[in-house]
Structures are given as structure tokens and as C-alpha cells.
Amino acid sequence: MRFRIHRRDLPGRPDLTLPKWNAAIFIHGCFWHGHEQCRYFRLPATRTDFWKTKISGNAVRDARAEDGLRNLGWRVLVVWECAMRDHTTATLETLFEQIRGGATYVDLASGGDHLEVRAE
């Protein structure tokens, strides 16, 4: 698959873009991107407000980038760090499957003992 990384001319500078598949892919660190209800995301006990503000700002920016990309006709695929950590093979297989599929939005996360796939 041909891909480019961090295209500056696209909203959110996606980690990977696959022009042939109209796919923009983000690999999100669960902490920095505020992955809710994820065991890899816990607000630090010190300077909690600072981190809360910072991380929710990142999440707002992510949502804006996703909207912008979709408005430009890109499909958006989000791979969370927890999915890669807990279910590496299944995550990659599912990602490639989804790239070839028709979903316009895909979110891959760890559900503990299984991979959680949300596709729209």
C-alpha cells in the first residue's frame, strides 16, 4: 500500500494517508489523546487541572481534524495505542480490512480481552 506520513496540508496532519483508499489514519496515544475509559489513560495526581485542560484541548483538536478531513472526502481511521498494545495482530489485520472496506469512520480500541471495532 502506498502511503504518506504527516501531510501538513491536511487537517490534523494524519499519521498516515493512503490516497488510493481515501484513508487518513491516526495512531493515538491513549494518554495524550484522552482515551476515555481506557486503562492506559489516567490523569496525573499532580497538576491535575493542567493535564485535564491540555488533554481535553487535544481531544477537541482531534475531533476538529476528523471533521475537516471528512468534509474533504477523506475516510478517517483511528487506531488507539491500547489496541496496538493489547491486540497487535488483530489490530493490524482489522486495520487493513477496514482500509479496503467502505466505512467512512473507524475506531479501533482495546476492550480488554478483545479488540473493539467501531465502524460507521
**Dihedral sign computed on CA atoms, order 67, 69, 70, 75:** negative
Q: Which residues have C-beta within 8 Å of that of residue 16, sequence separation ≥ 6?
A: 3, 4, 5, 23, 24, 25, 27
Using CB under 5 A, pick the residue from 77, 79, 82, 115 that binds Zn ion.
Answer: 82
Q: Does 79 bind Zn ion (CB under 5 A)?
A: no
Which residue, 21 or 26, has its beta carbon nearer to Zn ion?
26
Alpha-carbon distance of 109 to 86, in angstroms, equals 9
Stretch that binds Zn ion, among 1-9, 26-34, 45-53, 93-101 (CB under 5 A): 26-34
Q: Does 38 bind Zn ion (CB under 5 A)?
A: yes
- Which residues bind to Zn ion, rule: CB under 5 A? 30, 35, 38, 40, 80, 82
